[in-house]
Amino acid sequence: MKKTTFICLCAILVLSASCTNSKKHLPRVAIAGIAIESSTFSPAVTDETGFPLRVGDSIFSYYNFFVPDSGISDRAVWLPTLRTHAMPGGIVKRDVYEKLVNQTLEMLKKSLPLDGLFFDIHGAMSVQDLEDPEGDFIVRIREVIGNEVLISTSMDLHGSVSSRLAQNSDLITCYRMAPHEDAMISKKRALINLLDRLENEKGKPAYKAWIRVPILLPGEKTSTRIEPAKSLYEQIPTVLDGDKVIDAAIWMSYPWADEPRNHAVVMAYGDDKEAVGKAAEKLAENFWNVRDQFEFVAPTAYLPECIEKALASREKPFIISDMGDNPTAGGAGDVTWTLTEILKRPEFKSATGKSVIYASIPDSGFVKKAVEAGVGGKIDATAGARVDNRYSPPVRIAGTITAIEKDEKDGNTVVVVKTGNVSVIVTAKRKAYHYESYFTEVGLNPRETDILVVKIGYLVPELYDMRGGWIMALTPGGVDQDLTRLPYKNIQRPMYPLDKDMAAPDLKARFVPSAGETSKTEI
C-alpha cells in the first residue's frame, strides 16, 4: 500500500514537473501600444487626460480574443505593460508622449527577457516637435528589448509606415475594412502571425518589401463598402502563400498631418524574396491604377445644399455628416460653424417644422449652467469654439433643457437643449455619437427624427443601418475633406491627387532590413 502511494506521488510530481516545464517553454510575449489619430491642421492639443490607461492585466479586457479556448491565451506567457487608445484629436503634447513612452519602457524592462512583443498602435500620432512618433517609439523599445525579439505590429489602415517603423517591425499588418469592423480580427491576425513564428522557431521572416505609393486621400474616400477600395483590399488574401508570403497590407495613410511619412504604403513579408516582392508590387500597382476611381462614399455638397436636400426629403432620418470637424478623425469637435448656420435658418425656428437633432458640441461651462437650471429650465448661453474658433465664434443656444445625463464611467455630462425644432446635444467633454443608445439615453429618438446632423465622416455601422437619406457636408475644420485647402509644407511631392498630372511613380519593391541591420536601399 505504501509502495503504491509512493508510486502515485512520484507520478503526480513528474506530471507537475512536466506541466511546469511546458509553461517554462511557452514564449514570453509583451503587449504595448500608444494609439491616437491626431491632426496637425487643428489648433487642438491632446494632453494627458486624453489617454485612458490600461496597465497590466487590465489590457486583456480590451481584446475579445483573450478568453479560454481562443487559441491565443494559452500559447504564451503574456506580459502586458501599457496600452492606451485616445480619441482622435489634436497634436499630442511632447511631455505627455514622453511620459507614456517612458512608462512603457520601464514596464518592458521589468518583463525581460522577451521572445516577442505585440505592438498595438494606430499609426497616425502627431507629437509636438517630433517627427514620426511611432518610428521613434519602436526604436526606443528596441533599445530596451534588443533586436532579436520578434515584434508584430498591428495598425489602422489610416496609419503611416515610415522606414523606421518598417525596419523595426518584424511582422506588420493593418485593418482591411473601413469602417474598421475587422479591428479585432486584424489584431488577432497580428498575434497569430507572431505566435506561429515563435512556435515553429522560424523567427523573423527573411524578407520585408516596402513600397511608397504617392497617394493621399481623405478618409471618406477610402471606404471599403464601395469600389475601388472594396476590391483592392479583397485582393490581399489572394497574394498570401504560407511562409512564402505570410501577410501583406495596404495603408491609405492619414491626410490631416503634414510629415514626409504621410503617403500610402504597401508592405508584404515572408521567407521567399521573389514571392514577397511580387505580392507587394501587385498590390501597389493595382492601387495606383485605380487612383482616379476613389470617390466619397456618399453624395457630398456644401452645407446650404445639404440642408435643402434634407428639408425636401421624405426619408427619415435624413443624416447630414458634418465632416470638417469630425472628432473621430482628429477634429477639435467644437467648431460651431455648422450649428450656427442651422440655427439661423427660419425653417428650424418653429416647433412645428421638421425635427432636427444636432450631435454634438462640447462646452463644459455651458453644461454647468444647464445643470444648475435643471431639466425643464431655460438657458441662454454660448457654447463651442473654445478650441477652434477660426470659422465662427461660440454659438448662442437659447431654449429649454429637456435632458441631463451624467456618465459616471467617463466623467462626462450630456445636456439636450430644445430651441425651435432643433435638439442640440451639448457635452462637457468631446463625445462621438456613434451609437443609437447615446441618443435614446437622453430621451431622443434618432430613427423618428426628420434630420440628424452628426459630426462624423462616413457613417459607422449603427448610423449607416439607421439612415433614411444621407449626405456628407463639406464643412470647415481640422479634418477638411478638401485637401487642396490644406497648407501642406512637409509631405513629399508630387502627390496624387494634389498633383494630378504627376508622372507614374517607381513601384518596385524595396526590401527592408531587420532591426539593427543596414541596407544599401534607401526607403
Check residue 519 and give its pLDDT.
Answer: 63
Q: Look up the domain containing 197 and give its range.
A: 22-294
Q: Is residue 520 part of a domain?
A: no
Q: Report helix, strand and coil shares of the chain as percent, to nearest 5.
A: 35, 25, 40
Residues 173-226: pLDDT tens digits? 999 999 999 999 999 999 999 999 999 999 999 999 999 999 999 999 999 999
What is the mean predicted confidence (pLDDT) over 278-299?
Answer: 97
pTM reported for the whole predicted model: 0.90
413 and 324 part of one domain:
yes
Q: Of the given ranges (58-72, 252-266, 509-523), which has the lowest mean pLDDT?
A: 509-523
Q: Does residue 13 have a pLDDT over 90?
A: no
Pair (126, 217) in one structural domain: yes
286 and 366 fall within a common domain? no
* Average pLDDT along the chain: 93
Kindly state whether residues 282 and 321 are assigned to the same domain.
no
12-27: average pLDDT: 50
Same domain, 269 and 414: no
Segment 387-417, tens digit of pLDDT: 999 999 999 999 999 999 998 778 899 999 9
Q: What is the pLDDT of residue 68?
A: 86
Residue 46's SS3 state is: strand
The C-alpha cell of 220 is what? 471618406
Asked, for residue 408, whether it belongs to a domain, the answer is: yes
Domain count, the chain: 2
Tell me whether residue 4 is in a domain.
no
**Residues 281 and 346 reside in one and the same domain:** no
What pLDDT does 409 receive? 78
- Give a yes or no: residue 168 inside a domain: yes
% of the chain exceeding 70 in pLDDT: 94
Tell me whether residue 203 is in a domain. Answer: yes
Mean pLDDT of 229-244: 98
- Give the model's pLDDT for residue 5: 40
φ, ψ dihedrals at 229, nearest 5°: -60, -35
pLDDT of residue 366: 98
Kindly state the average pLDDT of the residues 456-479.
95
pLDDT surpassing 70 at residue 343: yes
Kindly state the average pLDDT of the residues 477-481.
95
Residues 6+ apart with CB under 8 A from 14: none
pLDDT at 350: 86
On whether both 163 and 49 belong to a single domain, the answer is: yes
DSSP 411-473: TEEEEEEEETTEEEEEESS-----SHHHHHTTT--GGG-SEEEES-SSPPHHHHHH-SEEEEE
Q: Are residues 144 and 202 in the same domain?
A: yes
